[in-house]
Amino acid sequence: MTKNSDKPLVVGLAGFGTVGGGLVRLIEENADLIRRRSGRDILIKKVLVRNAKKARNVPLPDGAELVTNPRDLTDDPEIDVLVELIGGIDNARDLIDRALDQGKHIVTANKALLAEEGLSLFQKADRKKRILRYEASVAGAVPIVEALKESLTGNRIQSLMGILNGTSNFILSEMTSNGLDFDVALKQAQHLGFAEADPTLDIDGHDAAHKLILLIRLAYGVHYPYTALSVRGIRGLSALDIRLAREFGYRIKLIGQVRQVPCPEEKADAKECGEGPVRLEAGVFPALVFHKYLLARVGGAYNAVRVDANASGPLFFHGRGAGDLPTAGAVLADLLAVARDERPNNTGFVGKELPKAAIVPPEEWRSCYYVRVMVQDTPGVLRDLSGCMAAEGISMAQVIQKSDEGQGVPLVFMTHETTAQAMSDALQRTLEAGLLKEPAVYFRVLGGE
């Protein structure tokens, strides 16, 4: 790359909403710091919007022009880097694809696009020798992308788990701290601007899943298809389970997790364990986290990521996961890296193609479990439940029986470690035996520090 230490970095900004407005503010407010850190100014030349007549909260930068035709950004030879903040997949993909064809670097916050279709964009950026940076796509202000791509490259990542969606964490925090029902907590999140009118991506776990896919790519240098990821959200989670989990000393959190798992001895044939360079167990799911662990203490709309690596040991990253300035600050950091003419290192691994990960099937996941069943208050029911568990090799560690809730008696127990398949089979046995008044509720139990 040609060094341009005194030439301003010229930016084409696609999207002038919350984050785009925050970026414009930061570039203006931090102009002296930008020059000291990069030796260059950052100038926004054009801003792509859908409606140029719409009133905006942040003034247009001096000398910048509002445009509505994407090619005014992608085809302008003076623009060095495209900042994509429009979101979505199809339009954003087409915009980035053409900008790469025109020789532009890319900075984006689009986790959905990079998770579902990012592989081809990374390959194209590699062919074009262009930078594609995306710190703002995961956890807002938390610098986890750069940490995995640069600071931790001397480590083997053993596991990574985190709270990757602020909306869901806010809802769960309100349910835990204030005893709210799920629907009430969701409406409160929408009223405060933490949740969209359609909260599907957040509460059904898909937003966290998009981010987890990017972190897997950075941590292990493999392609884990988004469609192969196990995803379970928090929609309709019961305040009763929040309350009962607390009695055991736990908090329920929506967790995104990946961990490297060795091939079991009974699968000596490598083909049975998959052909990827690493064997990974990954998914998004609600889980019980012990109240003294740091992840359990992450409240409100904050995000957090715990990384366990063979050299560094456990590391914990925590901060604001969304919002105008936190996210804009991450976008600006990426722009500064481009301004310093840093060489492309888009996935943190060399090579044009990332190998596909070997995937541990969800039914083989091992964990302790929290289980709540609604039963009739009759003699022998606990014995019969224990028998169904024992038939699948599951032993109970703790049991709590509560008073009648009107639809039966809640019987809650924690199990010793077992597989997801064994747990599913055992609960199916209890259902077929007529022991349950409604299907059981169960969650994984996780540890940490």
- Per residue in 86-124, pLDDT (tens digit) is 999 999 999 999 999 999 999 999 999 999 999 999 999
> What's residue 267's pLDDT?
62
* In contact, 165 and 321? CB cutoff 8 Å: yes
pLDDT above 50 (res 2): no
> What's residue 354's pLDDT?
84
> What's residue 277's pLDDT?
80
pLDDT in tens, 3-46: 555 799 999 999 999 899 999 999 999 999 999 999 899 999 99
Name the phi and psi angles at 194, rounded to 5.
-85, -15
Place of tokens 């889980």: 287
Query: What amino acid occupies position 358?
Result: A
Q: How confident is the model at residue 1 (pLDDT cuts 50, 70, 90)?
A: very low
Q: Tell me which CATH code domain 155-320 carries.
A: 3.30.360.10
Mean predicted confidence (pLDDT) in 325-353: 86
Say how far apart CA 162 and CA 293 lie, in whole Å. Answer: 12
> What's residue 448's pLDDT?
45
- Please confirm, yes or no, whether 402 is among the known catalytic residues: no
Q: Answer yes or no: CATH 1.20.120.160 is held by domain 363-446.
A: no
350 is in an annotated binding site: no
pLDDT in tens, 187-245: 999 988 888 889 999 999 999 999 999 999 999 999 999 999 999 999 989 999 999 99
Say how far apart CA 388 and CA 414 lie, in whole Å. Answer: 15
pLDDT in tens, 270-297: 566 666 788 999 999 999 999 999 999 9
* Fold category of 9-137 in CATH: Rossmann fold (3.40.50)
pLDDT above 60 (res 396): yes
276 is in an annotated binding site: no
> What's residue 377's pLDDT?
76
pLDDT in tens, 61-83: 889 999 999 999 999 999 999 99
> What's residue 336's pLDDT?
92
Q: Can you give the residue ranges of every domain in the chain?
A: 9-137, 155-320, 363-446
Name the phi and psi angles at 153, rounded to 5.
-70, -15
Say how far apart CA 139 and CA 407 lie, in whole Å. Answer: 40
16 is in an annotated binding site: yes
pLDDT above 50 (res 126): yes
DSSP, res 136: G
Mean predicted confidence (pLDDT) in 357-364: 92
Please measure the distance between the N-terminal and C-terminal CA atoms of the chain and give it in whole angstroms.
Answer: 43
14 is in an annotated binding site: yes
21 is in an annotated binding site: yes
> What's residue 405's pLDDT?
59
289 is in an annotated binding site: no
49 is in an annotated binding site: no
β-bridge mates for residue 65, sequence order:
46
Q: How confident is the model at residue 349 (pLDDT cuts 50, 70, 90)?
A: confident
122 is in an annotated binding site: no
Percent helix, strand and coil across the chain, each rounded to 5? Answer: 40, 25, 40
124 is written with which tokens? 């194209």
pLDDT above 90: percentage of residues in the chain: 70
- Which of 211, 267, 292, 402 is labelled catalytic? 211
